[in-house]
Structure 1
Amino acid sequence: MAEAPAQTPPPRSITSNALTEAEAQTVNDLLTYLGEHSYAYDSHVQLINLMHKGLITHVHGDGGETSRSPHDYGLLADLRQAREAMDSRFAIGEDLWTDWLSDEIIIAKASDGEARISVMELCQKATQDEPMSVRIWQVYADWIESNYSACNDLPEFDQSGWSEDDKELCRELFTRDLLRGVLEKASSATQWRIDSGYVLFNRYMAIIQEDLLTAGAGESSVLKQLQNLYVERLKLPSAGWEEVAQMFWPVISKIHGSQWEAAMSHMNELAAPAKSQMASRMENEARLERAIESGDQTVAFEEFSRCLKWEKKQKRRGVHERELLSALYERALLRFPTYTEWWLDYVDHVISQMPSSHDPSSSALPLLERATRHCPWSGELWARRILRSDVERLPYAEIEAIKHRATNSSLLDVGGMEEMLQVLLEWSTYLRRNAFTSTSSEDDLDTAEVGIRMAIEDVQQAGRKVYGESFKGDPLYRLEKIHMKFLLQARRVDDARHVLSSLASSQQNSFEFWQLWYHWEILLWGHARLSDSHRVETTETAPQLATQVVEQMLSAKHIDEPEKAVALYVMHFQHNESVESLQAAGIVAREYRQRTTIRRAKEAEDLAMQQAQHPATSTTSIEEALPSANGEKRKREDDGGEVRTDAKKSKTQDAALITNGDIIDPIVAAAKRDRENCTITLVDVATDVTEADLKKFFRDCGTIKATNIVPGHVNELSIATVEFETVEDVITAKTRDGKTLNGSAISIRSGSRSTLYVANYPPEYDETAVRKLFDTYGEIISVRFPSLKYDSRRRFCYVQMLSGQQAQAAQDAMDGKMLDGQHRLLAKISDPDAKKDRSGASAEGRELFVKNIDFTASEVEVKEFFAQHGTVTSVHLLKRTDGKRLGNGFISFSTSEEAQKAVEATNNKPLRDRVLHVTIASARGGGVDKARKADIIVKHSASPEPSSANGRRASDTSMASGTRDAAVEEAAHNVRERKVAILNLPDTVNDARVRAVMEKHGSINKIQLRRDQNAAVVEFADIKAAFNVRAGVDCSALGAEVRTGDVAEIFAKGRKGPATGAGALGFSGMKPSTVARPGQQRGGRRGGLGFRRGGGAPSSEPHDGKSADEKATPVKSNAAFRAMFEESREVAPAKEHGV
């Protein structure tokens, strides 16, 4: 069994003068959390970094000089225990190792010789974890050299704090030979690091030269040894090649004397390939160095990714390519030690360079061991390690220990079910192979069966733990397939069939399962018939067990692919059964098809009835609540001049989706759609790959819902995403990782935790603006805005990054960032499983909607009025875009009981001179929500508000007479000329974006979004601006196919018959509006222009705004209409005075 990991420090209340109060509380919280989640990598790192910071602060204080003993640090024992606990679970990485060694060196300098030896042992362990870390090797060599010098009383080293006993103890260990040996290992381990490996080599050569010269050996012998070392090193590419050559120069001059030029020329010839390789990488190295020095982890990650991609393209193009790529992987993983994809790539690269048959002299297991220590949550890495162990012929006990180490590394809690399943799959496959080798015994067979059964049980237990008691096992039944294969090899056919039979209850609706079982039975039947010398078809020789399978398949009521099921059923009888059976099967198949059709129709009908009981929210205009220029409410009318009678009808096609005959509620469908976990990302996609190629490549993996290709830059490969219907499809698709598509080997990554949920950005932000917010943190695959068809107030989007690490970096940098001084951005990694029910005042029933509030009442006055009945938490009085109040507002209380009490006390009660109408605000489906989901109106008053009313208080009921300002009259009558249609408008575009684009061309009075026609109507303040926009302007910021046009075009699609007259030419918007003449309203108010006195019966004609006479009247020109309009203005006042 695997050794148990060390325990984390126990949770307790920690206080320290070296930490702030907030830091101490964080340490307490982390200790508590790690007590329950001991494999939480990030929490381990955070805890250790905080305690390390406290140690440095304690030792050095504020002045930067050592002031206190490290042994007095109160959290020293906890820090050491935390590091041991993390090291027993993970390889902690270069940065944490460097901090750990520096801390222990500080402590050892204040301790005895035993502590100094412990630091050396710790250095050895660090170099095993990170063998290519120049920093760690430097610390190791420095420690050996400083102790060697102090023990031997060398004058240039500080000897304070050393006792004679400590010197005697360390003098035997810290020797010159040890230092030389460490530097030799360091030089060899880092020789392929072209950026800094030469530093350790130069240090090694300096001590070699000094030792050889002082050893008394012959000078020529010494020089020859040095020459050989330098020549071999100079044959390797290195950024410090010139520096190494300078150190070699004195050796050459002594050996060759006056012939040094020829010797140096020969040396340059030998080093030419290395120098050429280094020259080709200089630009990459410079960019990589700048990225690392910037301190930006995202930039560094992108540069390493780019360099790795470039290096992989250099395969088989020169010497040392394999070693250089391996060294680059090591450098990248030193910087990002937990990035699983790079470890997998590195392992694949190393194994691919090894011979197909195992060579005992080379092993990939040390690399795989390091990989699983750095990423113990990766089931794929553990599976590779088990597989490689079998390839390298490790004994069963050692492979079993690896499996136990994997399953004890909290794979389920950190990696999830799929990671755990990958380990158990590889382990079960190994057990099956091991049971049937030439040297296997009966014990091996028993061990294999027990192990495979236990693996299946482990999955069942883990599934119930994660998904609850409803978990039915791996949907792809992969372990069960291995079990069946084992039983078949053991000649236990009935037991194998029993495995399939036991799966039938959980897989009864899966056509793929029945197809597998059927073909399995047919294969066994065909194998048994091979021994027959003459084939005679009889009932007894027919594949009866296969027949039972297809019959049982058709008994499943909800099989996922009924058409394929019935086709398989008929095909079986056609190929294998008698003519009588085939005739009966045809009848059964026809009845099955009929039942399927009836069932689907019934389901569609039930869902349609359900939709009818909950119709879609009707579209109403907020404009109805806004006073017009003359103070009265403006009637809702379509911009084409027709009053729509069907505007409030529920349309089933807008509330449901019909897919393959099944009607699905779009809201339910959206809730079930899990893009985050059902999407994969493809890297290294050839530039000529199309979406059709992707669908063809993954056609056998499952149902593809969407594909997207992000073109690469010049001479670079592309990136693509494929969204599947289910998580099981994703699992299947991952098996195609590394396969070739159009000549390029693609890399498949999971799309989970790579998508950001972004909200609360300025409403006018479009895709370009959102991309600018996040493009510095990685490659953006897509920006997805929600449909605003059912809720125009939605303002969020999803930004999919190339990897989860990029998404995390973007979240860390952008979440909570203030934009334009008003909007605090929300940027969180999207997690469909973390969705919560709505909360807030409205959802909790403690928000009131109040109507008929006095326009002059302030928020303070309203709050004081309602505060008599409870604690008011907020007051929001609705305003128009011009700042004028609407007379409505929302009042929030601290509890729903207070809100209900306030309704009872204030509804139909006066505030000032107005009677309030108070109700509980509805979270969904109320009048306010209908307005929110309706066409959105952004309106400016066409006339200025009166400054006073002769000392009278303004009323909510208009008392304006028929006499109006000339400008107001003109604005009211040329409104159609000032309206422009925006066509082909995507339902993801809101009114703010429309406004931002249109206001570039002139002042706007109103914007009306028409979601049902994918259009918008913009009313400009100026006729000229409207004419210019209608003629055509650039609207590409709103969508690729968006264009401007006449308002009549919006409604032309719904009219029967061809358009005629001016409207057919696209200029109906320039026609003068007709004057509607409704009957006199009660209240005795004077009618303005176009109103008859004395009232009249309502017209029985269709209410389309035109009488029969008017419809027959020829269309007048603008000039004729204006003349008529001026005449009417002169006649109307005369009639009012009795003239």
Structure 2
Amino acid sequence: MDDTELLTASEQKMDDASTENLAAAGADSPSSDDSGESDSDSEDEAESNRQIETLESELSANPYNYDAYVQYIKLLRKTANLEKLRQAREAMSAIFPLSPSLWLDWARDEASLASSDKVPEIAMLYERGLSDYQSVSLWCDYLNFLREFDPSVHGYTSDGISKMRSLFELAIPAAGFHVTEGNRIWEGYREFEQGVLDSIDEADVEERNKQIQRIRSIFHRHLSVPLANLSSTLNAYKAWELDQGIDLDIESDDLSKVSHQVAAANKKAQQMYSERAHLEEHISKKDVSDIEMFQEFMNYIKFEKASGDPTRVQAIYERAVAEYPVSSDLWVDYTVYLDKTLKVGKAITHACSRATRSCPWTGDLWARYLLALERGSASEKEIYAVFEKSLQCTFSSFEEYLDLYLTRVDGLRRRMLSTRMVESLDYSLIRETFQQASDYLTPHMQNIDSLLHLHAYWANLELNIGKDLAGARGVWDSFLKKSGGMLAAWHAYIDMEVRLGHIKEARSIYRRCYTRKFDGTGSEDICQGWLRFEREHGDLETYDHAVQKVMPRLEELRLIRLQQESTPVKPPAGLKEHNSQKSTREKRKAGPNVEEESLAKRQKRKGQKVNEVEVEGQSETVPNTKSVKAENRKAANSNKEETEDVKPVKPKVYTDECTAFLSNLSVKVQEEDIHKFFSDVGGVDSIRILLHKDTGKPRGLAYVDFVDDEHLAAAIAKNRKMFLGKKISIARSNPKKGKKEFIRRGNEGSGSSKDASQISDKAKAPLGGETEGEMRGNEVKMRGKNTFAVPRSVKPLGYTTPKPSTDETPKSNDEFRNMFLKK
């Protein structure tokens, strides 16, 4: 808002008087022009009133609408509604820091209407404005107001002189280093001191000489500051010295007659200004965007930091925050700098207070404010008030609220344990803060590590400061009621009891949680943890008891996991179409007797199920492989013509000789993701991602073929690395060992009715004992009804994979028959 919009009291009275006179003069004979102007004024006033009512409704609904407040105040000034104007300004300043222009308008409006006895109230308005932003214009207006309206100041009493000198000394570091406008502060200071000199009696030579020396000192200080128009300041100094009877050659730039220190300081100041001139030019441009201008300010700040003068750095920061008061990043950067350079002091707390008023939605600024108050030895009442105020703000994440609660607890703990603490604090303050944090955050942050940290911290303080074991246990019990599915919480509770030597209590916690369901391998981990616990802390009886409890649970978990991962893989769309040629009636005819099935049909079925692994039989006995082979040969001869007509799709066979098996993959993984994961290893030949039969979605398992063993070894070295948010397992695929292991387990399983029902396809393979998993390149090995792909590199400790032999000749059927007959 321009200063020209402001009407002084006398101007307002003159306007009112002229209006009244004009109305009186034209009351008897109004002209058409007068009536037109009157109607126009009334329409403008009605429109302004409508806008005011609209803005009042908006602010009533949302008192945090900054722009609405600015427009509201502007309209109230226009209508000269002083009472509403004061209320609006007070309401806005209670929520927001007002800009320098808003404070300037407010103070000038009140000054124009106030009498001399209202000077302290108006001075307080200026002080409030300067507490928000260190504006050169606001400082100059404040100082000029006092010189004009304060009787003690313009009367040059000792109190008035002392007051003004104190204010000028405050204004110099706050605004006197402003490169382009700081001259106004220095010039005002000299003018005031010159007035003091003129008020001293000519006969009091000693006092006048002291005052002359004071003005000379101000000149010298001014000349040492890098400001614009220093040459003009130097000429003014020479002219002033000439009035004092000292000729410094005013027509020349020669400083030889000036003291050496002043000349050197002035030369350095001019050099510093030259270094900053281009920066000042950049931040003074009018045709650039806010983003570009903000970056120019940050470049200026970086330059001043490199120069190493904290006063100048603060000055440019203050100019920046006045231009961008709602930039939270700028305020954070400013407060961080103050913490590093000033460590303690009112300047930091004041800056933090202004920052939180300008950007109340930034939790980091509130946390810094609390820390600054603690460093400044603020009272508990003051710190608590700021903490409570911070919780009323709206932050972008619950992590910011958590950080505030933790900052509050940290401060209470430090002050409670400090020997220098004057106030006595009760531990109940910490407990109440933790309880408030838990009640507010737990519904929104369940199963999050940071919330676990909060409760672990709480339980620890209950033990160490509160000396309350029952309270610490209550913290964990309460947390586990809400977040019982978080394995780390149970471990933390158990660790606390073990650390305290409470073995029985730790054992009881294991009993409570070992049957719970946890994410990933958590359920198995807690069971194994109980066994380790009993090995380290229990006796034989407790260990046996843990084994009796844990082993059935582990077996149950194993079967559940197998069942979850045994869903057959969905075949490709092309194979589905091929399969659709077989009618439903023909499918029903296909009985369990695989030996009577024609070779063509078996080949056709094999082609349909290339990507599908299934277990068909529940027989307890293993069929004779030899008879199956003979029957197959017979069927092949008798159905030669049929096989010529039906040409089944032949699946690609993978040997898995140089293959890595990947498990625990993300269901969102794609081939390009795996390629990228192994990009540092190289040598990837092909990738096979296993899919569910029904859904066609990835199962979290894959095979990756490499070109040689060297690349494969490098890939296996990445085992347990994080990949798409999960820690994957990588092992070498061993198809030969998978076949042997399958046959051995299939035969061993015939001892019980449960295991007998889980005989795999190996026992009922239709062609030469070859399972469909083997026809696919031995991608999987099967176990009963469950079709679960597992790595074939799970070998005993110390086992090394032998290199494949290249000169081994496959044995014929007769050779195998002779081997068995010998046995």
TM-score surpassing 0.5?
Answer: yes
Unaligned runs of at least 5 residues, structure 1: 1-14, 59-69, 153-169, 526-541, 616-645, 652-657, 667-701, 707-723, 726-1055, 1057-1139
CA distance in 2 between counterparts of 1:545 and 1:183 reads 70
Contact kept in structure 1, 2:447 and 2:485, CA below 8 Å? no
User: Which letter does structure 2 place at the counterpart of 1:53?
Assistant: K
- Aligned-pair CA distance for 1:594: 5.5
Which has the larger strand fraction? Answer: 1
Structure 2 SS opposite 1:505: helix
CA distance in 2 between counterparts of 1:598 and 1:173 reads 94
Residue among 473, 487, 506 paired with 2:462 = 487
Structure 2 SS opposite 1:137: helix
Contact kept in structure 2, 1:213 and 1:222, CA below 8 Å? no
- Aligned-pair CA distance for 1:264: 5.4
What's 2:341 paired with?
353
Residue among 75, 89, 94 paired with 1:88 = 94
Contact kept in structure 2, 1:428 and 1:479, CA below 8 Å? no
Identity of aligned residues (%): 18
1:421 aligns with 2:402: yes
CA distance in 1 between counterparts of 2:568 and 2:315 reads 61
CA distance in 2 between counterparts of 1:221 and 1:440 reads 47
Residue among 325, 333, 349 paired with 1:365 = 349
User: Which letter does structure 2 place at the counterpart of 1:381?
Assistant: L
Residue among 284, 299, 311 paired with 1:306 = 299
What's 1:297 paired with?
290
- Aligned-pair CA distance for 1:487: 1.5
What's 2:664 paired with?
660
What's 1:433 paired with?
414
- Aligned-pair CA distance for 1:127: 1.5
- Aligned-pair CA distance for 1:123: 1.5
Structure 2 SS opposite 1:504: helix
Distance 1:421 1:203, change over 3 A: same
Structure 1 SS opposite 2:319: helix
1:546 aligns with 2:488: no
Relative contact order higher in (CA < 8 Å, ≥ 6 apart): 2
Residue among 289, 304, 321 paired with 1:333 = 321
Residue among 488, 494, 503 paired with 1:512 = 488
Distance 1:397 1:82, change over 3 A: same
CA distance in 1 between counterparts of 2:258 and 2:375 reads 47
Residue among 236, 241, 264 paired with 1:247 = 236
Contact kept in structure 2, 1:386 and 1:403, CA below 8 Å? yes
CA distance in 1 between counterparts of 2:541 and 2:324 reads 69
The equivalences for 1:55-74 within 5 A come to: 55=76, 58=78, 71=80, 73=81
What's 1:989 paired with?
none
CA distance in 2 between counterparts of 1:241 and 1:341 reads 34
- TM-score of the aligned structures, taking structure 1 as reference length: 0.41
- Aligned-pair CA distance for 1:84: 1.0
1:498 aligns with 2:474: yes
Which has the larger helix fraction? Answer: 2
User: Which letter does structure 2 place at the counterpart of 1:428?
Assistant: V
User: Which letter does structure 1 place at the counterpart of 2:262?
Assistant: M
What's 2:331 paired with?
343
How many residues align? The count is 541
- Aligned-pair CA distance for 1:229: 2.1
What's 1:125 paired with?
128
What's 1:269 paired with?
264
- Aligned-pair CA distance for 1:134: 0.8
The equivalences for 1:560-959 within 5 A come to: 562=522, 565=526, 568-569=529-530, 571-578=532-539, 595-596=556-557, 598-599=559-560, 660=664, 663=667
What's 1:186 paired with?
171
CA distance in 2 between counterparts of 1:397 and 1:523 reads 37
Structure 2 SS opposite 1:476: helix
Moved more, 378-387 or 544-553: 544-553
Contact kept in structure 2, 1:390 and 1:430, CA below 8 Å? yes
Pairwise CA RMSD: 4.9
- Aligned-pair CA distance for 1:385: 2.8
Distance 1:598 1:438, change over 3 A: same
Distance 1:269 1:238, change over 3 A: same
- TM-score of the aligned structures, taking structure 2 as reference length: 0.55
Cα-to-partner distance string for 1:889-918 (whole Å, 9 max, x where unaligned): xxxxxxxxxxxxxxxxxxxxxxxxxxxxxx
1:384 aligns with 2:363: no
Unaligned runs of at least 5 residues, structure 2: 1-40, 250-254, 577-606, 613-661, 671-720, 728-775, 777-823
User: Which letter does structure 2 place at the counterpart of 1:247?
Assistant: A
Residue among 186, 190, 213 paired with 1:224 = 213
Contact kept in structure 2, 1:234 and 1:245, CA below 8 Å? yes
Distance 1:323 1:522, change over 3 A: farther
Contact kept in structure 2, 1:417 and 1:463, CA below 8 Å? yes
Cα-to-partner distance string for 1:933-957 (whole Å, 9 max, x where unaligned): xxxxxxxxxxxxxxxxxxxxxxxxx
CA distance in 1 between counterparts of 2:386 and 2:199 reads 50
Moved more, 243-252 or 598-607: 598-607
Cα-to-partner distance string for 1:253-297 (whole Å, 9 max, x where unaligned): 55764695152554232345544544433332221222xx33733
Distance 1:570 1:250, change over 3 A: farther
Structure 2 SS opposite 1:263: coil
- Aligned-pair CA distance for 1:181: 5.7
- Aligned-pair CA distance for 1:136: 1.4
Cα-to-partner distance string for 1:53-72 (whole Å, 9 max, x where unaligned): 3245x3xxxxxxxxxxx53x
Distance 1:491 1:415, change over 3 A: same
- Aligned-pair CA distance for 1:350: 1.7
Structure 1 SS opposite 2:278: helix
CA distance in 1 between counterparts of 2:407 and 2:416 reads 14
Contact kept in structure 1, 2:366 and 2:404, CA below 8 Å? yes
User: Which letter does structure 1 place at the counterpart of 2:125?
Assistant: L
Residue among 354, 358, 362 paired with 1:374 = 358
Distance 1:307 1:440, change over 3 A: closer
1:211 aligns with 2:196: yes
Cα-to-partner distance string for 1:122-144 (whole Å, 9 max, x where unaligned): 112211222x2112113323434
Contact kept in structure 2, 1:91 and 1:370, CA below 8 Å? yes
Cα-to-partner distance string for 1:1051-1071 (whole Å, 9 max, x where unaligned): xxxxx9xxxxxxxxxxxxxxx
CA distance in 2 between counterparts of 1:474 and 1:20 reads 60
Contact kept in structure 1, 2:282 and 2:296, CA below 8 Å? yes
Contact kept in structure 2, 1:147 and 1:174, CA below 8 Å? no
User: Which letter does structure 2 place at the counterpart of 1:81?
Assistant: Q
What's 1:236 paired with?
225
CA distance in 2 between counterparts of 1:561 and 1:140 reads 70
- Aligned-pair CA distance for 1:308: 3.0
Contact kept in structure 1, 2:328 and 2:362, CA below 8 Å? yes
Q: Which has the larger radius of gyration?
A: 2
Contact kept in structure 2, 1:434 and 1:440, CA below 8 Å? yes
Cα-to-partner distance string for 1:736-787 (whole Å, 9 max, x where unaligned): xxxxxxxxxxxxxxxxxxxxxxxxxxxxxxxxxxxxxxxxxxxxxxxxxxxx
What's 1:66 paired with?
none
What's 2:282 paired with?
287
CA distance in 2 between counterparts of 1:303 and 1:386 reads 31
Cα-to-partner distance string for 1:393-452 (whole Å, 9 max, x where unaligned): 333333333334434xx22x45664444333322233333344444889x956x332x23
CA distance in 2 between counterparts of 1:46 and 1:128 reads 21
The equivalences for 1:1077-1096 within 5 A come to: none
Distance 1:544 1:77, change over 3 A: same
